[in-house]
A and B are shown apart, each in its own frame.
Chain A
Amino acid sequence: MRHPTDGTLRRLIDEPAGVADTDRAHVADCPRCLSGVAAAEADASFAGAALDVAFATDADAGWLRLLAADGRGPATAPTPARPASDGRGPATAPTPARPASDGRGPATAPTAARRWRAALSRPVVAVAGVAVLLTGATAAAAGDWLQIFRTEQIAPVTAPEADLITMPELEAFGDLVPVEPLEIHAVADAAAASQATGLAVPVVRELPKGVTGPPSYQVGGRASALFTFSAAKTAQTAAAAGVTLPSPPPGLDGSQFRLVAGPGLVATWSQGRPVPAMIVARAVAPAAYSSSGVPFATARDYLLPVLPDNVAAQLRGFSGDGTTLPLFTSVEHMTISSSDVGGHPATVLRSRDSTMSAVVWLDDGIVTAVAGSLSPGEVLDVARGLGSR
């Protein structure tokens, strides 16, 4: 039969009951349509995240404002011209000034923004999990947990954002169970941050122009997760990407990996502004451990075809000893260059709109970053001048 339209596939996601039985039956057995549903679902999720703004609303305050605007309440604001009704809703009439005492605080509902940001940055983060596995290529003996990946250097992997967004997450290859969930909380000062994390807190000796005041500190404990590889899930992910994988190498299906990162801390200079002027972050770099002794070069080569070609090619070029952490970066938004901080190779990122720079480097398994609304030269100056307490 004829394939259902894209619109029908889209409706299957929201209102399957609204789709004819014949269409549903067709889709269930049609790889092309199933792929279409998956694509529609991905776009729908992306749009949902982009549009999601779960603000907390205050109906009481809103009602008082409406009364005032309508001339029926306290005269806190001028009455607006009455909006014309053109059948498409009110026109854009001027609105009254907002009463000053409406109890509104700044940035009250970051949740939605976080989700939307997550839609963009999730690949950056989640893919790191995949990459930790895929770049961990040292071999393994059977038996106990064996460290197969330890971060000794950071290398950028650049790709179009569209490719990064289509990168599968770790869950696409198996089951990921948080063992020690990431928990972040504020602490009073640098001493408390150091005590909470066991890390030397970076001290900025000279603040760049425009950055003032003492920083605030947040810390997070060690986070870890247990990942169990699933050949069935991987096959599904591969099929959705239009790739047919051979049978997995012996021992890979069901094998377990423990992923560990942190603890970490971040110092923030925001001076009460919504966007921080600068942050300095430090954390114990990620590591991965295997319980099964699967040969990782084999596992990596098995999974790489599922990733976008240009990303796979860059990962394939990493050294096989499982020490390089890829820093995923979208070519549209960031430019990358190399530098050094205290004799360690450093990666410098600069947003293409010149609003933001960052430098990231690794020293003895500890990753440190300086970022902010600064120039690359400024973040490097801060990075190179850091002391510690």
Chain B
Amino acid sequence: MTAVRADLEEVFRGAYPRVVGVAARVLGSRDEAEDVAQEVFLTFGRSAVPAGEALRWLSVAAAHTALNHLRSGRRRVSREEAARDHGAVAPDVADAVVVLDERRRVRAALARLPRRQAMALVLRHSGLSYAEVAAALDLSPGSVGTTVRRAESALREELTRHAPSD
């Protein structure tokens, strides 16, 4: 059994919110995002990734793993689950009327994006710089903007077109 790296707890405590956040952007579910984070940290714990690169490595791994979850259809979120995090009752009628299974639609839209676009989108919106996204995806920094732009445009198009029927 490979030894667990000594700095795992320190890295975990510093990076856990970020890693859960990356996965949650993809999955829209805290439970699933925490499961992904756990998988990622388990792997990291036995890796030799330099501590200085840990946060970026973990973020990229979380995005990949979460997208894998989506595409494997590992867990189909029911309508009620998708709506669960809507929280308290919408205070106005307009909100109440716009009860949509938004999370499911975001998941579906992300699953349809080309992998590189989905990765760039999630990583950029998780706070990685253009240089970090470029390094993670083997892109030039100049083309990160193009990739992110295309992804955002495609996401909006997916989410604003006719909602897929169940």
Contact = CB atoms under 8 A, between A and B. Distances in A.
B13 to A, nearest CB: 5
Given A57-B17, A124-B94, A275-B80, A43 B153 contact: yes
Contact of A62 (B12, B79, B146): B12
Given A7-B144, A51-B125, A59-B12, A353 B163 contact: yes
A89 B65 contact: yes
Interface of chain A, main secondary structure: mixed
A178 B95 CA distance: 20
Contacts of A128: 94
Nearest to B18: A57
Interface centre among A48, A51, A160, A276 (most CB of B within 10 A): A51
B4 A70 contact: yes
Given A274-B80, A332-B163, A353-B165, A69 B152 contact: no
B84 A274 contact: yes
Contacts of B142: 7-8
Contacts of B45: 66, 70
Interface string A70-82: 1010000000101
A43 B125 CA distance: 12
Nearest to B124: A14
Contact of A53 (B9, B25, B69): B25
Which of A59, A88, A90 has its CB near the most chain B CB atoms (within 10 A)? A90
A273 B83 CA distance: 11
Contact of B160 (A112, A165, A218): A165
Interface in A81-122: 82-83, 85, 88-93, 95-96, 98, 106-114, 116-117, 120-121
A220 interface: yes
Contacts of B162: 332
A184 interface: yes
A65 interface: yes
B85 A113 contact: yes
Interface in A11-27: 11, 14-15, 18
A388 B92 CA distance: 20
B24 interface: yes
A50 interface: yes
B98 A184 contact: no
A355 B42 contact: no
Contact of B121 (A47, A63, A112): A47
B91 to A, nearest CB: 5
B148 A10 contact: yes
A350 B61 CA distance: 41
Nearest to A98: B31
A7 B86 contact: no
B126 to A, nearest CB: 8
B25 A11 contact: no
Given A220-B91, A355-B99, 15 more contacts: A14-B124, A53-B85, A55-B24, A55-B33, A66-B12, A80-B39, A83-B39, A89-B62, A89-B68, A91-B65, A112-B85, A161-B160, A276-B89, A332-B161, A369-B96
29 contacts: A6-B145, A8-B145, A9-B149, A10-B148, A14-B130, A15-B130, A47-B156, A52-B125, A53-B25, A55-B30, A59-B13, A62-B20, A62-B38, A82-B42, A88-B68, A89-B61, A90-B65, A91-B65, A113-B85, A116-B102, A120-B102, A121-B94, A124-B97, A334-B97, A351-B100, A353-B165, A355-B101, A371-B96, A371-B97
Q: Sort A-B residue pairs by CB-CB distance and give the 4 closest, nearest first.
A: A110-B87, A7-B146, A7-B145, A89-B61
